Amino acid sequence: MGDINHKKLTDIIDNFSSKKIAIFGDLMIDKFIKGKVRRISPEAPVPVVEVKEEDKTCGGAGNVASNISDLGAKAYIISVIGDDTASTEIMDILKKKNINIDYILSSKNHKTIEKIRIIAEHQQIARVDKDHILKYDLKIKNQIFSNLEKITETGIDALILSDYGKGLLIPETIKKIIDICLKKHIPVFVDPKIEHFKSYRNVTSITPNVMEAFGGMRKIIKYGQNEIEELGEKIVKSLNLKSLIITQSENGMTIFENKGKIKATHIPTRAKEVFDVTGAGDTVISTLSLAYSVSRDIITSAIIANHAAGIVVAKLGTATTNQEELKKEIKSWTIQ
């Protein structure tokens, strides 16, 4: 790993607290109903869950912001929510996490997205989605771009596009966001959706998983390392990216660095046990953007993000990590 050492990595993490990261993306509320199963319903062959606990957290861009905040940095969200009970719940959660909500718009024409997960005996047995696709009108569009211009004047260190395919990020807005950030030399990181894949041009990094990478390029999915590296090089060239990270679950991640010549580096997963991969992608892009805003080195940043992902997949539910957990995990790592 060249000049990578424990002190260098932990020093980067210590500097997270001085950073400000903006997240532009779809907001939703995640609800977790937890309980025990004692019997099968007489009405249908399904388990009856005796509810013991209910939790609420922010999903989508909210979970990315939570990761940023829990890692000690300042998070700002640009998004649109409804004017309903779920939106009030989201704003309350974000306030408690000290996440900046000044750039979140409320629209009576939109309903806040809810995802309800039912968990029994530490296993998710069902999910109920209340999905709503944002429909732009001129007022919302103008307000969003006004907020984007304002937030780039606050001295943010990076911007994350958190695309969950719920209508906020469309090709027009994606292009405008990237153009604004490029002019102001603000690094842009993207957690991509397949349908918008080819719109993420000229950014600092995108972090698709294997399915998203092949799907975004309209190719049949293959899991061989040679095929992944061949595809990664094509993606970097096609989208003119500074870097690309293809996450590969239990197989780690492959980083493609573009410095005129494209170099691929593979790092194995740090996960020792995997209980729940919910939100792991949010952790990767959050930690990656923070580490890059300090180090300006994509390989070093990806190594730190890989450690963070290894921590959160060992937790149940939409989890995050913090500086102390991350530094402890890194100090236990034997650098090859």
pLDDT at 270 over 80: no
Runs of H (alpha helix) within 133-186: 138-152, 171-183
pLDDT tens-digit readout, 213-243:
999 999 999 989 999 999 999 999 999 999 9
Q: Whole-angstrom Cα distance, residue 41 to residue 125? A: 14
Residue 1 lies in a domain: no
Q: pLDDT tier at 312 (50, 70, 90 boundaries)?
A: confident
Sequence-distant (≥ 6) Cβ neighbours of residue 262 within 8 angstroms: 232, 233, 236, 237, 256
pLDDT tens-digit readout, 161-181:
999 999 999 999 999 999 999
Which region among 50-54, 187-191, 192-196, 275-279 has the lowest average model confidence (pLDDT)? 275-279
The neighbour count for residue 237, using CB atoms within 10 Å, is 12
Q: Whole-angstrom Cα distance, residue 330 to residue 188? A: 26
Find out whether 307 and 270 touch, Cβ atoms under 8 Å: yes
Domain range for 162: 6-331
pLDDT tens-digit readout, 111-157:
999 999 999 988 889 999 999 999 888 889 899 999 999 999 989 99
The two structure tokens encoding residue 103? 């750039």
Q: Whole-angstrom Cα distance, residue 44 to residue 218? A: 41
pLDDT at 52 over 90: yes
Residue 336 lies in a domain: no
**Nearest CA-CA partner of 161 in 207, 115, 195, 216:** 207
Q: What is the pLDDT of residue 277?
A: 52
pLDDT at 208 over 90: yes
Catalytic residue among 92, 157, 282, 297: 282
CA 263 to chain CA centroid, nearest Å: 24
Using CA atoms, how far residue 158 sits from 34, 202, 218, 326, in Å, is 36, 14, 29, 21
pLDDT at 83 over 60: yes
The neighbour count for residue 322, using CB atoms within 10 Å, is 17
Using CA atoms, how far residue 81 sits from 94, 160, 249, 306, in Å, is 13, 18, 31, 31
Using CA atoms, how far residue 182 sits from 235, 310, 312, in Å, is 20, 32, 32
The upper half-sphere exposure of residue 248, i.e. CA atoms within 13 Å in the direction of its Cβ, equals 21
Using CA atoms, how far residue 267 sits from 120, 253, 319, in Å, is 34, 6, 22
Q: Give mean pLDDT, residues 273-296.
A: 82
What share of the chain has pLDDT > 90, as a percent?
Answer: 76
Q: What is the pLDDT of residue 171?
A: 93
Q: What is the pLDDT of residue 318?
A: 63
Runs of H (alpha helix) within the chain: 6-14, 61-70, 85-96, 138-152, 171-183, 210-216, 225-239, 280-295, 298-312, 323-331
The two structure tokens encoding residue 129? 């989605």
Q: What is the pLDDT of residue 158?
A: 98
Find out whether 280 and 269 touch, Cβ atoms under 8 Å: no
Sequence-distant (≥ 6) Cβ neighbours of residue 292 within 8 angstroms: 158, 187, 189, 204, 205, 298, 301
The CATH number of whichever domain residue 210 belongs to comes to 3.40.1190.20
Reduced to 3 states (helix: H, G, I; strand: E, B; else coil), residue 323 is helix
Find out whether 21 and 158 touch, Cβ atoms under 8 Å: yes
Give me the chain's average pLDDT, please: 91
Residue 131 bears catalytic tag: no
pLDDT at 276 over 50: no
Q: pLDDT tier at 321 (50, 70, 90 boundaries)?
A: confident
**Nearest CA-CA partner of 169 in 130, 137, 196, 187:** 196
The two structure tokens encoding residue 15? 């500097």
Say how many domains are in the chain.
1
